[in-house]
Structure 1
Amino acid sequence: MRTGLSALLLLGTWATASTMPASASDAHEGSAEAPASAGLLTAMQHDFGLTKSQAEARLAAEKTATAVERRAKRAAGSSYGGSWFDAGSGRLTVAVTRAASAETVRATGADVRLVKHSAKQLDAAKARLDKLNAPAGVSSWHVDPKANKVVVDVVSARKNDNDVRHFLTRARQAGPVTVRQTSAAPETFAAGTVGGDPFYTGNVRCSIGFSVYGGFVTAGHCDQHTGAVYGWDGSYVGNFQGSSFPDNDYAWVNVGSGWWTVPVVLGWGTVSDQLVRGSAEAPVGASICRSGSTTHWHCGTVLAKNETVNYSQGSVYQLTKTSVCAEPGDSGGSFISGDQAQGVTSGGWGNCSSGGETWYQPVNEILNRYGLTLHTA
């Protein structure tokens, strides 16, 4: 822990003087430099079973897909049905509801699939589900552009509960819905004070997400409304300046008393510490990695966006689901794709021994909500 944080502080002595701010509305698509360190490439080789050249090719393809996605969405207009990145082909697929839109979208560099429902229609169906009271046996729901439906995840052991079946009946009345089973209910990843990496508030340990000018962003459920926030060494850092949970799961903490911010995500010795160069949103299917104070560094794939997660404390909306594992204490930690900040860890199910899924709150929403500026290299 102290080795990793010492590296972060050392980086701060040179990185601070040479940085330029980037707000949510000015998210970089990535620099002309290599999008990943040697350590990140090694982690991708391990977690995805790739060679170094395959990992480099995937990151380059994902960077291209991120740019294509914006152009293709504009080209599709009201016909847009969603999009996703395919790691096998290295290309972005865009769903459209009208054949007449296909060639215009294809000209942006995307593959095209004709579907029945537009993204606007699917989002409206999901919004109707958001108004329902979900029982504990319903884990989450999100729009799946590839399936062209709203996917409702149900805990396998609770699938035959009367309240679950009643919810699904009402959900199907709301629009095109399909049901999938998951092995466990989602939980937030805050933890009691057990020692380890930073930060502490009340009797809870959580993880820093990303540096912003004047502080850092993290998960809203980490705010215990007890006042001061303390760092890895026990010294006073600052206070929560704003937070929201449930409904959202975001917060930000001001930094002072000798602490300062740097555009770095800790690699915990698994990979080298990662510089943050922007916050361009990665598409569904892209690779993504997470840094947290309990399980440190793990990678996976973006599985879904705009998912409603039914925690025991209440529903949280517009989260992104990933195949990355996490455990208590990882809450608030960084999700990053290449050199682009993606979000802060909210919660999930499973662990990093047997696997699981984890959701994050997109970072650009947090920046826009509080008028913050991401600290970038």
Structure 2
Amino acid sequence: MPKRKAAIAVGGVAALGAAALLLPNANASQDKASEAAGTARTLKAADASDLAAQLQKLLGGAFAGSYYDSTRQQLVVNVVSGDNNVIVQAKKAGAAVREVSNSTAELRAAAGTLKKEATVPGTAWAVDPRTNKVVVTADSTVTGTRWNQVESTVKSLGPGMATLKKSAGTFRTFVSGGDAIFSQVQGGSVRCSLGFNVTASDGSPAFLTAGHCGVAAKQWSDSETGQPIATVDQATFPGNDFSLVKYDDPNTQAPSEVNTGNGQTVQITQAADATVGENVFRMGSTTGLHDGQVTGLDATVNFQSETDPNGVDTVNGLIQTDVCAEPGDSGGSLFTQDGGAVGLTSGGSGDCTSGGETFFQPVTAALQATGATLGDGGAAGNGAGDEAGAGDQAGAGDQAGAGDQAGTADPSASAGDQSGAGDQSGAGDQSGAGAGDQNAGSADPSGAGGDQSGADDGSGTGDQYGAGTGDGSSSVTGTH
């Protein structure tokens, strides 16, 4: 096979207006003055994440999570200690400080109780540092005795510890993401999305995608009827949700970039840890580019098992966002406008018409577990366990956040006609065919925007397959 360029299709980060604008670097002299005065510094989201990690170590048990206030461009740190010295230390470091009632240990204990007593399909929970509570979400399938079980567990945690909300959609995995990738399986074809090109630990070119895609199929092609070009090397699902897929041709050129369409790309320079409150972009082969905010970290999601009608596929440590997604977007890229690789699309509820919650596997954790590096040797980030302060921001091993669909800024240089999504109906139906006009998507960080029309029928839970092709230059289709 001749050398081929495997471009990542991570949606266009276009029209910078309403879509995640880069926050300017704070002026050094202003920062020093703020530190001396004990006032909150102006920070970029990435810098706020680093500061949160430092303060978590500095404050110890008094630290009860943190989040990024994008309006004021400040890090807000929760503290539970009445010790004024703790507050002074946090303020001196440049954070805005808020005293709260629930400690990290208490929030983690609450999440542990939920895991023992409320692990039912269609539920998710995480700590929301903005409310200092565990936010529990139940999708539309949680009714009757299951709803009563979840509701009574939340009430048992005591007042002020947790909140319960209902999601109109259904939690399901979304097979799709950046560039569309396909695999032929018994009963039809599987379509997912390429996340980020990487270099495997043995030096061979590879890419990351969702774990449930790698579990569903072993060999992948860049066209629906084409020959396989890559083979799954590692796949983890449930528990985590990532796959390392190696290109079959060792001479494949796999640049560390996001294809935003119209010949434009966003260079991916590093793996980035998510921070609650920061703006992010998601590219999917079904719905194109959309943007929104990180609402929670270290979230736990209980998907209905696709192999056992009575089973649950639980995934931990996920990033929760209000960015929309639909079946076929699984494995796709979550990234920042300045080139940070943040996550791989896992699943969620809702769609890109009504909104919903979408969860992502942290890229830093996937890189650490597989031993891969970004692109042709880029840094693997801060490592999985250390979400730069953000993952532990909510303190609990389960961080949830809200889920209103953030408005999508039209990302122009989007991917052209990404037709063909696939009928996603039916739980576990992995063979749906069909097509939907997936005209390029919404928050293009770099170009001028296309209307993200069309979508698969994503009604069923966990429908992972879907045929259909598309001109989608930067998209890998799939319906997981």
Per the normalisation by structure 2, the TM-score is 0.63
1:57 corresponding residue in structure 2: 23
**What is the aligned counterpart of 2:261 among 252, 268, 276?**
268
The answer as to 2:353 corresponding to 1:353 is: yes
Q: 1:292 aligns with which of 263, 284, 297?
A: 284
Contact 1:201 1:223 in 2 (8 A): no
Q: Deviations over 1:343-371 (max 9, x none)?
A: 10001122223322211010111111122
How many residues of Structure 1 are paired with residues of Structure 2 in the alignment?
331
Rate the CA distance shift 1:90–1:190 in 2: closer, same or farther, 3 A. same
Cα contact 1:309–1:315 (8 A) shared by 2: yes
AA partner of residue 83 (structure 1): S
**C-alpha distance in 2, partners of 1:63/1:369?**
22
Q: Percent identity?
A: 32
2:151 counterpart SS class:
helix
- Match of 2:172, as an amino acid? E
Q: Corresponding residue for 2:214? A: 223
Q: CA RMSD in A?
A: 2.7
Cα distance, 1:332–1:115 mapped onto 2, change above 3 Å: same
CA contact (8 A) 2:181 2:194 kept: yes
Q: 5 Å matches for 1:304-319?
A: 304-313=296-305, 314-319=313-318
> Is the partner of 1:223 in helix, strand or coil?
helix
Indicate yes or no: 2:291 matched with 1:303: no
- 1:95 aligned to 2:78? yes
Offset of 1:236 from its aligned partner?
Answer: 2.4
Distance across 2 between alignment mates of 1:253 and 1:154: 33
- Indicate the residue corresponding to 2:170 in structure 1: 185
Contact (CA 8 Å) 1:135, 1:164: kept in 2 or not?
no
Contact 1:211 1:261 survives alignment (8 Å): yes
**Contact conserved, 2:274 with 2:297, CA < 8 A, in 1?**
no
Distance 2:360 2:184 in 1: 21
Cα deviation code 1:260-279 (max 9, x no counterpart): 3211122134x931111111
Change beyond 3 A, Cα 1:128–1:370: farther
Matches within 5 A, 1:161-176: 161-174=144-157, 176=161
Q: Distance in 2 between matches of 1:293 and 1:327?
A: 10
Shift in Å, 1:297 = 1.3
Equivalent AA in structure 2 for residue 61 of structure 1: K
Give the Cα–Cα distance (whole angstroms) in 1 for the partners of residues 5 and 75 of structure 2. Answer: 40
CA contact (8 A) 2:7 2:254 kept: no
C-alpha displacement of 1:225: 4.9
Q: Residue in 2 aligned with 1:280?
A: 272
Report the equivalent of 1:114.
99
Which deviates further from its counterpart, 126-135 or 284-293? 126-135
Task: Tell me the SS of whatever aligns to 1:240.
Answer: strand
Task: Determine whether 1:249 maps to 2:215.
Answer: no
2:63 counterpart (77, 80, 85): 80
SS in 2 for 1:127: helix
The 1-side partners of 2:18 and 2:149 are apart by 43
Q: Deviation of residue 304 (structure 1)?
A: 0.7
Partner SS state of residue 85, structure 1: strand
* More relative contact order, 1 or 2 (CA 8 Å, 6+ apart): 2
The equivalent of 2:444 in structure 1 is none
Q: Assess if the C-alpha contact under 8 Å between 1:66 and 1:280 holds in 2.
A: no
Q: CA offsets, 1:70-105, max 9 Å, x none?
A: 222222212110111112211110101113211111
Contact 1:220 1:250 in 2 (8 A): yes
Match in the other structure for 1:204: 190
Give me the TM-score of the superposition, normalised by structure 1: 0.80
Larger strand proportion, structure 1 or 2? 1
Tell me, yes or no, if the aligned pair for 1:350 and 1:357 is still in contact at 8 Å: yes
Q: Shift of residue 169 of structure 1?
A: 1.5
Q: Distance in 1 between matches of 2:373 and 2:344?
A: 15
CA–CA distance in structure 2, aligned partners of residues 352 and 281 of structure 1: 25
The Cα shift of 1:156 comes to 5.9
Contact 1:280 1:340 in 2 (8 A): yes
C-alpha distance in 1 between matches for 2:216 and 2:120: 28
Alignment deviations for residues 158-200 of structure 1 (CA, whole Å, 9 cap, x no partner): 56x2221122223443562211222112111127xxxx82243
Equivalent-residue separation in structure 1 for 2:300 and 2:274 (angstroms): 19
> How many angstroms apart in 2 are the aligned matches of 1:212 and 1:219?
14
Task: Kindly indicate whether the alpha-carbon contact (under 8 Å) linking 1:71 and 1:108 is maintained by their aligned counterparts in 2.
Answer: no
SS in 1 for 2:318: strand
Q: Which moved more, 1:223-232 or 1:55-64?
A: 55-64
